[in-house]
Chain A
Amino acid sequence: MFAFVLRRLLVAIPTIIVITAVAFFMMKVAPGGPFDLERPMPEEIRERLLAEYGLDQPVWKQYIDYMAGLVQGDFGPSLKFLDKDVAELIGEGLPVSLMIGALAMLVAVVLGTFLGAIAALRQNTSGDFAVMSFAMIGVSIPPLVMGPILALVLGVYMGIFPTGGLNYSRFGLSVLVLPVITLALPQIAIIARLMRASMIEVIRSNYIRTARAKGLSASAVIIRHALRAAVLPLVSYLGPASAAVISGSLVIERVFQLPGMGAYFVDAALQRDYTLVMGVVVVYASLIIILNLVADVIYSILNPRVSYDS
């Protein structure tokens, strides 16, 4: 197992180099630059700014300089947030996205697995139909619609939760409720559907029949044998899904005005904040690699038939 993890981490290094190179050169191909503003600045000032950030150099040299800095942990200054570094910006945004994303995934996994298992065990009953209708709605209504609806109903009309921002000193943790629910809903739905399908398959398998035949109690069969096998497809889904959810959702961040990573990703690209785009790409790529690795490790622990040590 250790050798497997080490090997995967070593492979990750060239992967990240390729990703950064592709991102860097694609970004430079895009027209427009960070200093093309609504109100143009004097040409002399513009040239000095370009020189200050090394943007007057050939692109290959810019890339080498950037990678040289990155190896030393230097993400460089932001070209747009003039008073802050990229490292600082990510340091502010990442914990917010991680926390909201992790809470949403936690809620989604607990509720989704539970609902999916119930639906599978009560297959083709009203309970099953209720869960599946809910899942259908959860998948179909995008957060862009669900967010404002929740904010209007639970916030403006009923006054239960704040509808935006992340001012803890004013509202405490209640600011997290609506964004976490909105982000979790589609995930609950997807996980419930995955779980139901895989659970139905598992409870029809031979070894479950054997376990039943041995006279194990129904709950023991479900919890100790069926559940463990049924969550396997879920684990492979959760790796990339978690990466997507915790790296920050632009929609959730816009609708609830949260200071996470999603806004950096989109705004930085649109405004040609080259260093911030690169910083976000590096962080995002690393997250995906790590979470996929974690998913694979968990998978091998849960599934005795899978072994990574050849």
Chain B
Amino acid sequence: MIGSKFVKSALVSASVLALAACSGSEPADTGTLVLHRGNNAEPLSLDPHRASGTWENNIIGDMFMGLFTEDPNGEPVPGIAESWTTSEDGLTWTFSLREANWSDGEPVTASDFVFAWRRISNPDTGAPYVSLLFPIAGVEQSSRGEIDPSEIGVRAIDERTLEVTLVNPAPYLPGLLTHYTTFPMPDHVIAEHGDEWIRPENIQTNGAFRLVDWRTNNYVHLVRNEQFFDNANTCLDEVYFYPTVDNSAAGRRVRNGELDLNMEFPGQQLEFLRREIPDYVRVHPFMGTVYFSINTTMDQFSDPQVRNALGMAIDREFIANEILRAGQPPAYAFVPPGVANYDSGVRASWADIPVEERRETAREILEAAGYGPDNPFRFEYAYRATGDNPRIAPVVQNDWSAIADWVQPELIVSDTQIHYDNLRAGAFEVADGGWIADYNDAYNFLFLAEFRSVPMNYPRYNNPDYDALVTAANSEQDLERRSAMMAEAEQMMIDDMPFIPIVYYVNKNLVSPRVTGWEDNLVNIHRSRYLCFADAETDAG
């Protein structure tokens, strides 16, 4: 038993090296279509219940399919669900499943969904993302160990009929059901292999591809799943995902033709890349917001006016155009534009006033709050040492100091893990952060300001009126009325400014012009089954 796994994996690695040394460069079979995707980071887990990153989503969504799935534009379309009905109160959804198989030929049944949803609701699974399923009746209680997972609101009426009971009507359910936390799981495989089911030698999938190899920090290798119900329309035979942590290095690999695409590039290289490889550069609005949290529990920041003063002093256009430089839109609201069924028109009341005038106002507010040369306004701004954050920090420090010389922000930098540990514990004054939505609905942003979301509600914003309005909106089935209620809530929150919105994210992809079927979209999800190569398509057509 001593280190047997170590010995085994070392032997495998060593023999691969030896094989490679013998065979030299062996050209791949020219008939197979292989896509090489730069995927930003190493997946920490491919188990849909243990994953939590967008880069993991890219792989998991190629291997598995839930009731709904994304179309090339990232919009939810039926996946394993063929049709569905909704009860009058909007709380019970009944899905008819299409005929579909796991990669070993076993049928995908309603009980595979029931099994998966009970598994993720079981606190022993340790699923970090179970909260996404809280709209399903009983999941929240089950994840706390208050009820048995078998009591959650999902049941298999027969092999191909699934009934789901919700806590509130949730018109965004189709979008939510595209998320990997809701995917079915092969009950028969997990029963046999337990936690080892995710290994390439054990795993069975129901999506367009299946896992054949996974080398840590090297690549994840998927091949076509012949049993996939829509296999006939899948172009690619194989997909490699590479953990391209260094974006500049990944850019070189794309330019050298080693990668067909990479899902990120450094913002400050935009102009250079547009000049060198204009056909590759794709920049598009993304479903996320960069924001600062203000700790509302501190006396200093309990006054919404003071929080607004901090918010209005920041020159977002400068940050967007001079620092980030990849077309990030300046943010004056929390929910980014383009989110489904939500045309809010929400904006901070001072958004259209020039920043110099806003700083004047900020000074008046702070003076009225008792600050001045004799009582300087001192606070700490904590930021992460990663990405663009260290370049934004001195800019906002300068923006705040420009209110008056007695406004004295101090910069505190820390590693990501420490930063979030502090935010979770409420041990901060003002801190940076970002939110990228998990599904395309305004509620996936607005819930962050609900008081029950503490500690994810880092500012500890506590406004019962806001909470009541968001809850009421979630019970509203009429989409327009729901949108109006949520907009009212968002305006209420923005006026109180527990979060300072800075900019909205954009997605920055490098995609070889050889790749076809790629559509820029808001969720930045691009399933490999829609992708192909220009030369291959001409051959086929």
User: Could you tell me if B415 and A270 are in contact, using CB atoms closer than 8 angstroms?
Assistant: yes
Q: Which residue of B lies closest to A255 (CB)?
A: B249
A83-B198, A91-B9, A272-B417 in contact; A169/B128 too (CB < 8 A)?
no
Choose among A148, A162, A165 the residue with the greatest number of B CB atoms under 10 Å from its CB. A165
Tell yes or no: A75 within 8 A of B by CB: yes
The interface-forming segment of A18-26, A37-45, A228-236, A284-292 is: A37-45
Q: Identify 15 residue pairs between A and B in the complex whose beta-carbon atoms are under 8 Å apart, listed by A's number.
A: A31-B421, A32-B415, A36-B417, A36-B420, A42-B143, A81-B42, A88-B6, A93-B216, A99-B17, A162-B258, A163-B249, A171-B25, A253-B217, A257-B250, A257-B253
The minimal Cβ–Cβ distance linking B119 to chain A, given in whole angstroms, is 13
CB-contacts of B255-293 with A (<8 A): 255-256, 258
**Which stretch, B88-96, B236-244, B298-306, touches the partner chain A?**
B236-244
Name the residue of chain A whose CB is nearest to the CB of B47: A83
Provide the residues of chain B in CB contact with A163, threshold 8 Å: 249, 252-253, 256, 258
Nearest-Cβ distance from residue B287 to partner chain A, whole angstroms: 15
Chain B: residues with CB nearer than 8 A to chain A?
A: 1-3, 5-10, 12-14, 16-17, 19-21, 23-26, 28, 42, 44-47, 50, 52, 123-124, 126-131, 143-145, 195, 198-199, 215-219, 240, 242-246, 248-250, 252-253, 255-256, 258, 415-418, 420-421, 424, 433-434, 455-456
**Which A residues, 223 to 280, have Cβ-Cβ distances below 8 Å to chain B?**
253-260, 263, 270-272
* Chain A residues with CB below 8 A from B253, complex form: 162-165, 257
List residues of chain B with CB within 8 A of the CB of A41: 128-129, 131
Q: Within 8 Å of chain B (Cβ to Cβ): is A95?
A: yes
Q: Ordered nearest first, which 7 A-B pairs have the shortest CB separation?
A: A172-B25, A91-B9, A73-B2, A168-B20, A87-B6, A259-B217, A32-B417
Q: How far is the CB of A289 from chain B (nearest CB, A)?
A: 18
Beta-carbon contact of B24 and A172 below 8 Å: yes
Please tell me if the beta carbons of A88 and B256 are within 8 angstroms of each other in the complex: no
Whether, in the assembled complex, A155 has its beta carbon less than 8 Å from a beta carbon of chain B, the answer is yes
Q: Are A257 and B245 in contact (CB under 8 A)?
A: yes
Measured between beta carbons, the chain A residues less than 8 angstroms from B250 are 164, 257
Q: How far is the CB of B240 from chain A (nearest CB, A)?
A: 7
Known: A37-B420, A45-B123, A73-B3. A95 touches B14 (CB 8 A): yes
Q: Is A173 among interface residues, defined by CB-CB distance under 8 A?
A: yes
Q: Measured between C-beta atoms, what is the minimum distance from A64 to chain B in Å?
A: 19
In the complex, besides A42-B144, A87-B5, A167-B240, 9 extra interface pairs with C-beta distance below 8 angstroms are A33-B417, A36-B420, A37-B52, A80-B44, A82-B44, A91-B7, A92-B215, A164-B244, A164-B252
Beta-carbon contact of B131 and A42 below 8 Å: yes
Across-interface contacts of A39 in B (CB, < 8 A): 52, 128-129, 456
Give the residue name and chain of the B residue nearest to A79 (CB): B44
Within 8 A of B (CB), among A142-195: 148, 151-152, 155-156, 159, 162-174
**Alpha-carbon separation in the docked complex, A169 to B32 (Å):** 14
Interface set of A (CB-CB < 8 Å, partner B):
31-45, 48-49, 52, 72-75, 80-85, 87-96, 99, 148, 151-152, 155-156, 159, 162-174, 253-260, 263, 270-272
Compute how far the CA of A254 lies from the CA of B219 in the bound complex, rounded to whole angstroms: 14
- Contact partners of B21 in chain A: CB under 8 A: 173
Say yes or no: A270-B143 contact (C-beta < 8 A), given A73-B3, A165-B242, A173-B24.
no
Assuming the A-B contacts A40-B455, A172-B24, are A95 and B10 also in contact, with contact meaning beta carbons closer than 8 angstroms in the complex? yes
* Residues of chain B lying within 8 A (CB to CB) of residue A81: 42, 44-45, 216
Q: Which residues of B contact A170 (CB under 8 A)?
A: 25, 28
Chain A's nearest CB lies how many Å from the CB of B260? 12
- Chain A residues near B418: list those with CB within 8 A: 31-32, 36
Contacts of A174 in B (CB 8 A): 25
User: In whole Å, how far is B147's beta carbon from the nearest beta carbon of chain A?
Assistant: 13
B residues near A172, Cβ cutoff 8 Å: 20, 23-26
Contacts of B12 in A (CB 8 A): 91
Q: How far is the CB of B257 from chain A (nearest CB, A)?
A: 8
Q: How far is the CA of A49 from the CA of B130 in the complex (A)?
A: 14
Query: Whole-angstrom distance from the CB of A73 to the nearest CB of chain B?
Result: 3
A92, B1: Cβ atoms under 8 Å?
no
Verify B26–A155 contact, CB threshold 8 A.
no
Assembled-state Cα–Cα distance A148/B246 (Å): 11
> How far, in angstroms, from A31 to B421 measured CA to CA in the complex?
8
Of the residues B28, B144, B244, contact of A169 by C-beta under 8 Å: B28
A41 to B417, CA, bound (A): 13
Residue of B nearest to A152 (CB): B252
Contact A165 B44 (CB under 8 A): no
A155 to B251, CA, bound (A): 12
Specify which chain B residues have a CB less than 8 angstroms from the CB of A173 in the assembled complex.
20-21, 24-25
CA distance A72 to B128 in the complex (A): 31
| Smallest Cβ-Cβ distance to B385: which chain A residue | A270
Residue of B nearest to A44 (CB): B144
Residues of chain A within 8 A of B14, CB atoms compared: 95
Given contacts A48-B123, A72-B2, A159-B256, A83 and B45 within 8 Å (CB-CB) = yes
Q: Give A265 to B45 CA distance when docked, in angstroms.
A: 19
How far is B6's CA from A164's CA once the two chains are assembled, in angstroms? 26
Q: Are B252 and A263 in contact, CB atoms less than 8 angstroms apart?
A: no
- B424 & A36 in contact (Cβ 8 Å cutoff): yes
Q: Nearest residue in B to A50 (C-beta to C-beta)? A: B126
Contacts of A164 in B (CB 8 A): 244, 249-250, 252-253, 258
Whole-angstrom distance between the Cβ of B423 and the nearest chain A Cβ: 8
A305 CB → nearest B CB, Å: 39
Q: Are B143 and A44 in touch, CB under 8 angstroms?
A: yes
The CA-CA distance from A42 to B369 in the complex, in Å, is 37
A84-B417 in contact given A91-B5, A91-B13, A99-B17 (Cβ < 8 Å): no
**Structural contact, B126 and A45, CB atoms closer than 8 A:** yes
B239 CB to closest chain A CB (Å) equals: 13
Chain A, residue nearest B198 (CB): A83
Tell me which residues across on chain B come within 8 A of A35, comparing CB atoms: 128
Q: Which of A44, A49, A73, A254 contacts B246 (CB 8 A)?
A: A254
Closest residue of chain A to B242, judged by CB? Answer: A165
Set of chain A residues within 8 Å of B245, measured between Cβ atoms: 254, 257, 263
> A45-B126, A257-B246, A257-B250 in contact; A95/B13 too (CB < 8 A)?
yes
A170 → B minimal CB distance (Å) = 6
Query: Is the pair B258, A40 in contact by a Cβ cutoff of 8 Å?
Result: no
* Residue among A49, A155, A270 making CB contact with B416, cutoff 8 Å: A270
**How far apart are the CA atoms of A33 and B417 in the complex, in Å?**
7
- The residue in chain A whose Cβ has the minimal distance to the Cβ of B217 is A259
Residues of A within 8 A of B8 (CB): 88, 91
A276 to chain B, nearest CB (A): 11
> Once the chains bind, are B216 and A259 in contact (CB under 8 Å)?
yes
What separation, in Å, do the CA atoms of A151 and B246 have in the docked complex? Answer: 13
State A172–B407 Cα separation when bound (angstroms): 60
Q: How far is the CA of A227 from the CA of B62 in the complex (A)?
A: 60
Closest residue of chain A to B9 (Cβ to Cβ) is A91
CA distance A90 to B3 in the complex (A): 11
Q: In the complex, are the beta carbons of B258 and A151 less than 8 A apart?
A: no
Q: Considering the chains assembled together, what is the distance between the CA atoms of A171 and B28 in angstroms?
A: 9
In the complex the two chains form, is A255's CB within 8 Å of B417's CB?
A: no
- A168 surroundings in chain B (CB, below 8 A): 16-17, 19-20
By beta carbon, the residue of chain A nearest B11 is A91
Most chain A CB within a 10 A radius of its CB, from B21, B216, B242:
B216
In the complex, chain A residues whose CB is within 8 Å of the CB of B7: 91
Residue of A nearest to B453 (CB): A40
B213 and chain A: residue at smallest CB distance = A169
Asked if B252 contacts A156 (CB within 8 A), the reply is yes
